[in-house]
Chain A
Amino acid sequence: MADGAERRMSAAPGITLSGQHSIGGAPLFAAEMMLPGGQWTCLLGPSGIGKSTVLRLILGLETGGDFVGQIAASDGQSLANRISYMAQSDLLMPWLSVTENTVIGARLRGDVPDLKRAEALLDRVGLGPHAQKKPSALSGGMRQRAALARTLMEDRPIVLLDEPFSALDAGTRADMQELAAEVLAGKTVLLVTHDPAEAARLGHQIIVMSAGEATAWPTPASSPIREINAPETLTCQAELLAHLRQVQA
């Protein structure tokens, strides 16, 4: 297990992004950021600042604007097909069972899905007994678990998370953070979030975006995932919140 984690860690590349993004000529942000390989980077900032745009740029999706700059992996290889993505909405197909949703990536590529592996992953996220149910029969937390299993099924070294836990109730959210930290260990993760507590718990690195720049925010000395009620987590969370309120204003 430890060997596997180490191997993955060395396999997960870091990402550097530097450049300017503008929509219809109006600049949205200028940023320079480095996402260390095999670690969690949490990205915060006011709404509309372009956090999700950063994520879409790395994913290579349309952003409705122009980006001038560079996005590169630290190992010099292309980022294409090395990233998986999980959003706030679970994006499960309502007509498919949980298992079929987990393997939809293979179906979409025209490959034969590995149903055994899907079952094992569903067991790992605690959905084993619900594998044959439709998403409508699951709770919000269970649906996000299914989405996480689908993300894991893709087995990509880089994972981009766009506020995946923000719609969950507090208890479920804390559970999901722990589960995600465990199962995504060793991958390069970019987590877009609005929640300072989440960033303080999960981030190896925290970046705060504002119109002019993207600045690193000091993280607690211990390594994630940190206890919710550890003093350093709470201090980081409080200071980060105060800072975000200034950025807002």
Chain B
Amino acid sequence: MTRLNILWALLLGLGLWQALVILTGAPHFILPSPWRVAQAAWNSRVVIAENAWVTTLEVLLGLVLGTLLGAATAIHLAMSKTAERLMLPILVFTQAVPVFALAPVLTLWFGYGIGSKIVMAVLIIYFPVTSAFHDGLTRVDRGALDLAKSMGATKANIMRHIQIPHALPALGTGLKLAAVYAPIGAVIGEWVGASKGLGYLMLLANGRAKIDLMFASLITLACLTVVLHWAVGLLAKRLNTYALGVAPQTPAARAGRA
């Protein structure tokens, strides 16, 4: 059902695109037809794949590092009232600085390689992950905390056995946001200065008036983001299922319930 819907949406999109090309009569170096883009994608498949690999690596590393850093910060903030008081305003303030504006500086500091793009992706997802996870950690039922205290629990153990498992769904929400943002960070980093990656390829193709290749790169990037979003969505679902203690719905369980 959903697969059929996706197929229809895809066909509709392609149809609209083709219609736009015919109706406007735009030349192929302004708006190439879907077929032309498909041809360009096929002809340049090796180049696209190589650059897509670099971008994927940047995004994945950025996502992992940013999540680790964000989760660690959130735990630290939730455990220390002082840290929370001092750091939360700073964190919010840093969000007022558009991360994109930092791209040139980051390129200067971390070079033209994938380093600066990873840092860019980390910076852009750090805040959503931190704030979502911190929210989850601090929104634990007061009764559960009272119970833990009456049992003589230590702060660290409350964090480990109650707060973190409880906050996993919130972390999942943060990760879903991060999955959307991380590719943006990486591509902007590539635009500012790079010798590899889909963002770099887009600029290069644009400069050489190979608009069909540019579109092919853009579509590849969109596909990567969709796959990433889907994978992270699955992960978030699993975190949710775990934290709520709901057994995965197997056909046998469904039959048993009915």
Contacts and interface: CB of A to CB of B under 8 A. Distances in A.
A80 to B, nearest CB: 8
Given A84-B151, A104-B151, A91 B243 contact: no
A89 B143 contact: yes
A154 interface: yes
A122 to B, nearest CB: 17
Contact of A108 (B151, B165, B246): B151
Contact of B153 (A83, A85, A108, A137): A108
Contacts of A93: 144, 161-162, 165-166, 245
Interface string A33-60: 0000000000000000000000010010
Contact of B161 (A87, A89, A104): A104
B244 A108 contact: no
A87 B143 contact: yes
B153 A87 contact: no
Contacts of B154: 108-110
A81 to B, nearest CB: 5
A230 interface: no
Given A95-B165, A104-B161, A107-B157, A136 B151 contact: no
Contacts of A94: 243-245
Interface string B87-101: 000000000000000
B146 interface: yes
Given A94-B244, A134-B246, A137-B247, A107 B147 contact: no
A89 B145 CA distance: 13
A96 B245 contact: yes
Interface string B130-150: 000000000001011011111
Contacts of B157: 107-110
B141 to A, nearest CB: 7
A222 B152 CA distance: 37
A136 B245 contact: yes
B153 A109 contact: yes
Nearest to A87: B143
Contacts of A109: 151-154, 157
A147 to B, nearest CB: 9
B149 A61 contact: yes
B235 interface: no
A61 B146 contact: yes
Contacts of A107: 157, 161
A105 interface: yes
Interface of B is mostly: helix
B180 interface: no
Interface residues on A, range: 20 to 34
B244 A136 contact: yes
Nearest to B144: A91
A84 B150 contact: yes
Contacts of A83: 150
A91 B150 contact: no
B53 interface: no
B146 A108 contact: no
Interface string A92-127: 011110000000110111100000000000000000
Contacts of B152: 81, 105, 108-109
Nearest to B146: A61
A136 B150 CA distance: 24
Residue from the set A59, A95, A105, A136 with the largest chain B CB neighbour count within 10 Å: A95
8 closest A-B pairs by beta carbon, nearest first, are A108-B153, A94-B245, A134-B245, A105-B151, A85-B150, A108-B157, A136-B245, A95-B165
20 contacts: A59-B150, A61-B149, A85-B147, A85-B150, A87-B143, A87-B146, A93-B245, A94-B243, A94-B244, A94-B245, A95-B165, A105-B152, A105-B153, A107-B157, A108-B157, A108-B161, A109-B154, A136-B245, A136-B246, A136-B247
Interface of A: 56, 59, 61, 81, 83-85, 87, 89, 91, 93-96, 104-105, 107-110, 134-137, 154
Given A95-B243, A95-B245, A104-B161, 20 more contacts: A56-B146, A59-B150, A61-B146, A81-B152, A87-B143, A93-B162, A93-B165, A95-B242, A95-B244, A96-B245, A104-B151, A107-B157, A108-B151, A108-B153, A108-B158, A108-B161, A134-B245, A134-B246, A136-B245, A154-B151
